A and B are shown apart, each in its own frame.
Chain A
Amino acid sequence: MDFDFSEDQDMLRESVRRWVEKSYEFERRRKIVAAGGFSSEAWKGLADLGLLGLQVPEAEGGMGFGAVDAMVVMEELGRGLVLEPFAAVGLVATRLLRAGAAGQPLLGRVASGEAIVVLAHEERASRYRLGHVSTRATGPSGGAAACKLTGTKIVVPAGDAADTFIVSAREEGKNSGKGSGKGADADPNGVALYLVDKGATGVSLRTYPTQDGAAAADLVLDDAPATRLVPAGEAMAVLEEAVDIGIAALCAEAVGAMDALVALTVEYMNTRKQFGVPIATFQALRHRMADVKMQLELARSMSYYASLKLGEPAAARRRAISQAKVQLGQSMRFVGQQCVQLHGGIGVTDEYAVGHYFKRLTVLEMTFGDTLFHLGEVSDRMQNSAGVFA
């Protein structure tokens, strides 16, 4: 048991932090938000750092790094409120691409920054349930672009910048339910994963910024040609693992963002004067800051826990990840809300960074399952014994 970072991890952190400080200062970020929330230049910067191949095997042109390395990177990107979907592409999509023969050729291109591949799994009616899918695949399963997908996916990362989508859809003939009723949409065993190119016929995107200024899109598929990546029966396990990797990454991102937000708030409390004294002298505010620190350290502890549990068997991993997301969700909401409050009026302005941290943390809470959703998961999976090693 050891919670120290290695020298290599310290160096990795340092290089990402330097890049964020140099290339992603607040005014630069503001321009990226105004331009739609995705900067090709920033993406190239991430590729040049080697980050896009962080978890791509070395044989495929990546670095083959592990979960703790990803956590280190995410903390630093979170600190800088980096908008580009590094985790969605570099961590989640690369895991999915490794799961099927059709995905292998894309890995090298993702690692080099040539191709942007993202998961498109969420639907308007699915909420956070991965197995709840109404998008349907028709036609034969084998071969390139051999089948057709119809359906709509929402809040797909990267917006117009994405080149290829990994889409969850119901494989023809693999569903237990018949027709298009709710029961048929909810069967996780019928879900397969497909690759869809943005330029294909029947693919259209409705792009928009998210609340935190990042680029996203709704993906509308109308008989769009697709290649099967992972067949029904196997896909859910892969999808769950990839999403768990995404959750661990966003936990770390949130810790970085909260670290920076708390530092800003501490500085403000020590300089802002009211009634002739710094507001840091008021006990009501000091105790609030102590509560913020509590939530931050609990969050950091559970972020470590999430990343360190990614290698466990599926049942233990899923339980741990949900436990972490509950803690992180609570922490993100509390720290975000209270740091705005501790700033007073300036905290609610667009001009100042605090509101932007708050919005980012809010979106992270609602990504891959919010606090109540994961509380339900923890509740459903409880065993007699509990604890870090249970």
Chain B
Amino acid sequence: MNLEFTPEELAFREKIRSWVAANLPKDISEKVRNSVRLSRDEMQRWAKILGKQGWLGWGWSKEFGGPGWNAIQKHLFEEETALAGAPRVIPFGPVMVAPVIMAFGSPEQQKRFLPGIASGEVWWSQGYSEPGAGSDLASLKTKAERVHTKDGDKYVVNGQKTWTTLGQYGDWIFCLVRTSSDGKPQTGISFLLIDMKSKGVSVRPIITMDGEHEVNEVWFDNVEVPADQLIGEENKGWTYAKHLLAHERTNIADVNRAKRELERLKRIAKAEGVYDELRFRDEIARLEVEIVALEMMVLRVLSAEKSGKQSLDVAGLLKIRGSEIQQRYAELMMLAAGPAAVPFDTEAMDAGWQGDAASGGFVAPLAPIYFNMRKTTIYGGSNEVQRNIVAQTVLGS
């Protein structure tokens, strides 16, 4: 047992660090560090820089054109990019749908879809949740009926998806759809790739309580989807979606970004004069301990993956703790700003804003971020659903 990276791992970290320093545009990292809004183009710009290097799919095997990194190298890449202030990679393409296409898609589908994901050219969205299917995702109702036409088989899709993050930018969307109502709800679900420019797809914004347009409703009205955009077998979509969850383990804790935001919290607390108030600083200290403990838990999972000697079934714990910590640093940043966080100054969150720093500036986004972060304990399987899963594992009943 030891806590040191190997010389090879340290050299790898150094390689990533210097590459990021040379290639991450300063204008973008400055915005990330100060929670200034990023445009679609800015997010795409970074994605394409990574894509050109072959690192947008940093978790991909060499077989599919990825770097073939092991668990620790992936972690180091995530850490270096996060600490440098890189925007979070929009995960729906490279992290979420690509592994499903690799594992269950046909060679034709792999050839057709993976290059656009790897380069960052094609923006993917996720179509899982529905108004009536949140934590109980398997109760989803969006229907896909297979029909035979002279141009070949098609699915006709009708229904509504919701909470589609950044769906306003999406080129394609991967959806769980109902293809059968026989048997258990889970057994009638299929995994379908849909071009968002298809006739009958409409995207409507949902404005969240922070005033931002981050999520959307996506409506499907008799949308025709060629049958060759079905992944794997019909009615097996639930299994494929679960495979995806099983492969998305340590990154859900988002501990690297938490370390970056903890530094920022200390900067804000110092600037606002509360760092020297022991009552406030002790709260930061408490959060620091939580972040170190979470990082150790993540490292334990990575070590177990690397050696294969022990199995650590703590994905649920990582999600719960990681999301709680995200909420906590957002809360403390807002509280550090105190009354200066109260004015709702939405333009102050745009690039190039030259307004009065006393009422806005770097404090303007703090309350909106706090409001925004309430999502983290709700999405990705609410923390209550995660507790059900953890309890099942611990109790064995």
- Which chain A residues have a beta carbon within 8 Å of chain B's beta carbons? 1-6, 9, 68, 262, 266, 269-270, 278, 280-281, 283, 286-287, 289-294, 297-298, 301-302, 304-305, 308-309, 323, 326-327, 375-376, 378-379, 382, 384-389
Contact = CB atoms under 8 A, between A and B. Distances in A.
Interface in B1-48: 1-6, 9
A326 B1 CA distance: 23
Interface string B236-269: 0000000000000000000000010011001100
A384 B259 CA distance: 10
Contacts of A378: 285, 288-289
Interface in B375-390: 384, 386-388, 390
B6, B292, B299, B396 — most chain A CB neighbours (10 Å)? B292
Given A280-B397, A283-B388, A286-B387, A323 B292 contact: yes
A292 B320 CA distance: 13
A386 B2 contact: no
A1 B3 contact: yes
A9 B394 CA distance: 26
B210 to A, nearest CB: 27
Contacts of A1: 2-6, 9, 72, 299, 302-303
B309 interface: yes
A386 B258 CA distance: 10
A266 B395 contact: yes
* Count class of interface residues, chain B: 35 or more
B391 A386 contact: no
B289 A326 contact: yes
Contacts of B262: 386
A87 to B, nearest CB: 19
B285 A382 contact: yes
A51 B216 CA distance: 63
A323 B285 CA distance: 9
24 contacts: A1-B5, A1-B9, A1-B72, A2-B307, A3-B300, A3-B303, A3-B304, A4-B303, A266-B395, A281-B397, A290-B316, A293-B317, A294-B317, A298-B294, A301-B300, A309-B3, A326-B289, A375-B289, A376-B278, A379-B282, A382-B288, A384-B267, A386-B291, A388-B299
B278 A301 contact: no
Contacts of B310: 3-4
Nearest to B278: A379
B1 A3 contact: yes
Contacts of A278: 397
B357 interface: no
B317 A302 contact: no
B289 A270 contact: no
Contact of B309 (A4, A280, A387, A388): A4
Interface string B274-307: 0000100110111011111111110110111011
A301 B259 contact: no
Contacts of B294: 298
A315 B323 CA distance: 31
A376 B267 CA distance: 20
Contacts of B215: none
B73 to A, nearest CB: 12
Interface on chain A toward B: helix, strand, loop, or mixed SS?
helix
A386 B288 CA distance: 7
A269 B293 contact: no
Nearest to B13: A389
Contacts of B297: 297-298, 301
Contact of B2 (A2, A281, A294): A2
Given A1-B299, A286-B391, A302 B293 contact: yes
Contacts of A281: 397
B236 to A, nearest CB: 30
A291 B321 CA distance: 10
A287 B316 CA distance: 12
Contacts of B281: 379, 382
B394 A290 contact: yes
A298 B388 contact: no
A298 B293 contact: yes
A308 B3 contact: yes
Interface in B340-367: none
A141 B56 CA distance: 68
B384 A287 contact: yes
A297 B317 contact: yes
Given A289-B394, A326-B286, A387 B291 contact: yes
Contacts of B303: 1-4
Contact of B1 (A5, A280, A298, A385): A5
B292 A387 contact: yes
Contact of A293 (B291, B293, B390): B390
Contact of B394 (A293, A376, A379, A384): A293
Given A1-B2, A278-B397, A287-B387, A384 B263 contact: yes
B122 interface: no
A382 B266 contact: yes
A389 to B, nearest CB: 8
Contacts of B316: 290
Contacts of A302: 289, 292-293, 296
B296 A388 contact: yes
A383 to B, nearest CB: 9
A184 B288 CA distance: 34
Nearest to A326: B289
Contact of A280 (B266, B267, B320, B395): B395
B314 interface: yes
Contacts of A309: 3
Contact of A305 (B296, B388, B394): B296
Given A289-B395, A302-B293, A386-B259, A68 B317 contact: no
Nearest to B79: A387
B395 A270 contact: yes
Given A305-B3, A388-B296, 6 more contacts: A1-B4, A68-B1, A280-B397, A286-B387, A378-B288, A386-B259
B77 to A, nearest CB: 15
B284 A379 contact: yes
Interface in B65-99: 72
Top-8 shortest CB links A-B: A301-B296, A286-B391, A379-B285, A290-B387, A290-B390, A308-B3, A3-B303, A378-B285
